[in-house]
Amino acid sequence: MSARRDLLVEIGTEELPPKALRRLSEAFASGLRQGLSDAALAPEALQAFAAPRRLALLIRGVPEQQPDRGNLRRGPAMTAAFDGEGNATKAAQGFAASCGVTVEELDQLETDKGSFLAYRAVEPGQPAGDLIPDLVRKALAGLPIPKRMRWGAGTDEFVRPVHWVVLLFGDQVIEAEILGATAGRETRGHRFHHPDPLYLAEPAAYGPLLATEGHVLADLDARREAVRAQVLEAGERLGGRALVNDDLLDEVTALVEWPVAVSGRFDTRFLEVPAEALISSMQDHQKYFPVVDHEGRLLPHFITVANIESHDVEQVRAGNERVIRPRLADAAFFWAQDRKQRLEDRIPRLETMVFQQRLGTLADKQQRVAELAGHIAAAIGGNADLARRAAALAKCDLVTQMVFEFPELQGIMGRYYAGHDGEPEEVAVALDEQYRPRFAGDDLPAHVTGQALALADRLDSLVGIFAIGQPPSGDKDPFGLRRAALGVLRILIEGERDLDLHALLARAAELLPADLKAGQVVDAVFDYMMERLRGYYADSGIAIDTFDAVLARRPTRPLDFQQRLRAVEEFRQLAESPSLAAANKRIRNILRKTEEAIPDRIDAGLLREDAERELAQALDGLATSVGAQFDAGQYTEGLRRLAALRAPVDRFFDEVMVMAEEPGLRANRLALLGSLEALFLRVADLSRLQG
């Protein structure tokens, strides 16, 4: 077995794109790990490092050399290799020559197809140091970089210019040129705290040396935790709680090598502006962490993370306070200006904003949504007039200065402006709730009007985009229909709104322009949403065959679909379940293969065998009461009672010949099986369960 060494690879660059840093690091690690494994140099462990000016990998236990590989070449059959006198034929001589040996040096290979001449050789493994540079180049070439750049007079391309490369195998440098830089054993510390080179004696010294002397926390996860801890501690010192958004935390972590949290303050007059606008300005524009009190109210403080340990913290603080002031002043100005015009006065401007060329303007869309939202609100016990009013105002905040500057505040600012205009609270809240859920796991609309508007807006988009022939394809989903479909399903299921999805889609289609013939795509949209539902339940642990068993009955009410799923899941836990599922599968096969007409009713006079009489009697005793439970949506209770049929069903198949020669007897037994199957099919197609 080859000896092993640690390997350090570091690519030193100009500042890398912060939002791409983790993705680049993970891809680099994955690519080089795979390359080493493919080259029979699989390491024992790998640790990735990523900071603004570097991507690095510490790879433990890399073999010093590839293992030797045996090489076997099969030649002609022995019968063709030698003549009757045992002399080598031209076939044998030619094969030997191609292998660079004599016929006498060849071996004989025995297989189940006969004996053959063969050449066996051992190919010695190559030293790892000879292979690693190309493996590194290949891993770097495979990084997810949308647009590469060149620098200087060279032809190398990378996400950012490369200034140094470390390629250290054990205590030895691997001589190579990577992306225009000659590999060595010197890394660089912090740009300001330690700009001079740092000598690396061995790979394992990399992280500790940078942290102690270089003022660089190279481990991305450790640096992220340091940022988070410092920000939270600073928030507590301010008497509040820092809002640590994960996306912002990731971005800030990727912007600094030596994080130092610094708190600042802004004028309390800005607190008159909606907190969401101030928070958005701080987080998105300045990369600051806002601070709230213990009741969640915004405090006039922020926390920034510097990339330097300054000797004059007050100057750093003052500089950040000076920078944020005009940003917050802009938000205050927009807030004041926008309130000078009512939302409803902005409706005409929606007529100039195209939603989609064939689907019309935002004003056209809002008219359709208003009609559909009113219909939905009435169906779920809400106020149709309020829903229509909310729909009429739903997109008006898109033309305000605040939302133009902060698009992520759409809906939120609509709620504030509607409240200022004196709109009913239910309407104002709906303007915000229409966008919920905004992402996976987000809260749902909590109010009836908000639910009606959220459903109507998404349903209109789903049917409309399908109608113009632009459904999602592959990774392309420009109108966010996947998210819209899942939002509709979550509201109906988790919000416990027992509405018929197919009927809602059909109603949305009726409201679209007649020339689109949207009614023709309703089934396609419904099927598309059922596929989204499949993923929704798969994520929650529901077995795929359970989902397929329910889907086979094509329930059109998602809440009803959920109740059936739960019933089948509980049914599967019963001891009788496997036997009854197998029986349903057998029944389905029998009925599918028969070509004769099956009677609608069972003729008691044709029940000759005890087993078929027992099954018919048991079925008759359950059909009415269980059917009533299914009608009431009590699927779990109904299936549990049907489990009692296991014994008579098993006996029936053990003792009764279904396909009897006598036509009347055969037809009656098929009718019995058909009635049994029909009862189970009231819930799901149990024949699809896999055991």
Say which DSSP state 102 is in. Answer: -
Mean pLDDT of residues grouped by 10 in the chain (691 residues)?
Answer: 89 96 97 95 96 97 88 88 87 90 88 88 87 96 93 91 97 95 96 94 96 96 98 96 96 97 96 96 95 96 95 93 95 96 96 93 96 97 97 97 95 97 97 94 95 98 96 88 96 96 97 95 97 94 94 96 94 88 86 82 84 88 89 92 88 86 86 88 89 63
Residues 424 and 514 in one domain: yes
How far, in Å, CA of 119 to CA of 93, rounded? 12
What burial class does residue 634 get, using C-beta atoms within 10 Å of its C-beta: 0-12 exposed, 13-18 middle, 19+ buried?
middle
Residues 82 and 16 in one domain: no
Residues 533 and 577 in one domain: no
DSSP per position, 152-200: TT----BSS-EEEEEEEETTEEPP-EETTEEEESEEE--TTT--SEEE-
| 559 found inside a domain | no
CA 211, 215, 220, 224 torsion-angle sign: positive
| 283 found inside a domain | yes
Residues 470 and 451 in one domain: yes
What burial class does residue 289 get, using C-beta atoms within 10 Å of its C-beta: 0-12 exposed, 13-18 middle, 19+ buried?
buried
Residues 17 and 86 in one domain: no
Residues 20 and 37 in one domain: yes
CA 177, 182, 186, 188 torsion-angle sign: negative
Residues 96 and 58 in one domain: no
pLDDT of 1: 54
Q: Which of 471, 452, 451, 473 is nearest to 461 (CA)?
A: 471
Structure tokens, 416: 């504030």
**Amino acid (one-letter) located at 37:** S
| 537 found inside a domain | yes
Domain containing 248 equals 220-338
CATH number at residue 663: 1.10.730.10
Residues 206 and 224 in one domain: no
Residues 453 and 528 in one domain: yes
- pLDDT per position as a tens digit, 347-406: 999 999 999 999 999 999 999 999 999 999 999 999 999 999 999 999 999 999 999 999
pLDDT of 68: 84
Phi, psi angle pair for 359, to nearest 5°: -100, -5
| 562 found inside a domain | no
Q: Print the SS3 string covering 342-401.
A: CCHHHHHHHCCCEEECCCEEHHHHHHHHHHHHHHHHHHCCCCHHHHHHHHHHCCHHHHCH
Residues 191 and 240 in one domain: no
**What share of residues in the chain are helix, strand, coil (percent, to 5)?**
55, 15, 30
Residues 594 and 471 in one domain: no
What burial class does residue 552 get, using C-beta atoms within 10 Å of its C-beta: 0-12 exposed, 13-18 middle, 19+ buried?
middle
Q: How many folded domains does the chain comprise?
A: 5
How far, in Å, CA of 39 to CA of 63, rounded? 11
**Amino acid (one-letter) located at 562:** Q
Q: Which among 180, 212, 244 is the end of a domain?
A: 212
> What 3-state DSSP class applies to 305?
strand
Residues 198 and 170 in one domain: yes
- pLDDT per position as a tens digit, 320-345: 999 999 999 999 999 999 999 999 99
How far, in Å, CA of 7 to CA of 44, rounded? 11
> 147 Cβ partners below 8 Å, 6+ apart?
none
